[in-house]
Amino acid sequence: MNDVIEPTFPSDADRLTFLSRLWGVTITAKDVADWEAYKLLRPTKLLTQTESEYSERFRLWNEGRYDPLRRAQYVWAKWESYRLGKVKPLAEAWLSNKPNPNRSQMQQAVLLQLQDKFADKLARVNAAKDLLPLVTGIVW
């Protein structure tokens, strides 16, 4: 069992659609590319820098990730880091007696995970209509 739960999708575009609807922010392939570019800007300490100078450069980069203009990148980075998060108790319990869950059962596991981890986001989206049909399976 993985530590995180990861829904799978028919295509990368469907995955972005899922995340866009869940988070209420449009995420495009360009945002993914922009995040990759931003990651490359993460400072490393230069020999000519003091630790404090390096710390400040890193802080500017780190706090820059929260710039509302980078919101889509922020959401994508979350996905990149931990998919839908650590498997939460309800989802884990649901799957515990289903060694080979079918698609509906996997969608239910995703829903339970969303209800635990993304309750505030679910309040503004119809999960049954707009999210779960995109899910073809899970990796966990």
CB closer to another protein out of 10 and 64:
64
| Torsion sign over Cα 103, 105, 111, 113 | negative
**β-pair partners for 4:** 86
For residues 109 and 100, what is the distance between their CA atoms, to the nearest angstrom?
Answer: 13
Provide the minimum distance between the beta carbon of 77 and another protein in the complex, in angstroms, as a whole number. 5
Angle CA(65)–CA(4)–CA(67) in degrees, nearest 5? 10
Told to check if 71 binds another protein by CB under 8 A, we report yes
* Contacts (CB under 8 A) with another protein, residues 106-125: 116-121
- Which one of 13-21, 26-34, 55-63, 93-101 is the stretch in contact with another protein (CB under 8 A)? 55-63
Work out the burial of residue 106: count CB atoms within 10 Å of its CB; fewer than 13 is exposed, 13-18 middle, 19 or more buried: buried
* Contacts (CB under 8 A) with another protein, residues 22-51: 45, 51
Told to check if 55 binds another protein by CB under 8 A, we report yes
Provide the minimum distance between the beta carbon of 78 and another protein in the complex, in angstroms, as a whole number. 6
Burial readout 47-78 (b: 16 or more C-beta within 10 A, e: otherwise): eeeeeeeeeebeeeeeeeeeeeebbbbbbbbe
CB closer to another protein out of 86 and 101:
86
Binding-site ranges for another protein (CB under 8 A): 3-4, 45, 51-52, 55-56, 58-59, 62-63, 65-68, 71, 74, 77-78, 80-82, 85-86, 89, 116-121
